[in-house]
Amino acid sequence: MAELHFFTGTMDCGKSTLALQMDYNHRRRGLSGLMLASHDRGGEATVSSRLGLSAQAVEVDTTTDLWALVVDRLAAGARIEYVIGDEAQFYTPDQVDDLGRIADEVDVPVFAFGILTDFRTRLFPGSARLVELADRIETLQVEALCWCGRRATHNARTVDGVMVTEGEQVVVGDTVDDAAVGYEVLCRHHHRRRMTSRDARVTEPGSQPLPFTAS
């Protein structure tokens, strides 16, 4: 029986790179699959990695019926022997249900890639549903690091360089320093203190921030 497999981790841990590598490996074995994307930094209908790799995909928005997408293509004679869904945290719970149905009823393995929590440390609905339904959940072993050197566990959003903890859950940005809306991975300690790498750089030489907040 095919399985629904969820690969998760923070930003910068290689999720999209692994998704692209998995697609490449399958195609090298003569298999034909379906790549899904959502809100990729590289643009619509694209799965891209910060290493420079990319591939065309089907863009998933909140109205996309994933079950119908797969079944209609199969009925038209297309070969779909695996499904890879990147940025799966942005899928709706119903779409995640469709991924499970594809694995169960069409016997096509599904590999979903996504982060668990948003910049507010709240679970994405799509990721929460994947945790509930996936046959296997794997945390990627490539550890992203906070600017302090600790293992990064939280995703932070910055607006004009300032970390924010309020706003819409889905806003596309990037990890480059000059991005108007940016993202950075932090350890829990520095996420709680809202201290990004930029804040660390502007700290006066020789001074050390207190290891706790005063209020």
Catalytic residues: 87
CA atoms within 13 A on the CB side of 154: 20
Strand pairing class (136-139; 4-8): parallel
CB 111 within 8 A of CB 8: no
Q: For residue 147, what are its two tokens?
A: 């600017």
How far is residue 16's CA from residue 49's CA, in Å, rounded to a whole number?
A: 5
Residues 6+ apart with CB under 8 A from 70: 34, 80, 83, 102, 106, 108
Let me know: does 5 contact 135? Beta carbons within 8 Å. Answer: yes
Beta strands in 57-178 (DSSP E): 58-59, 83-85, 110-114, 136-139, 154-159, 162-164
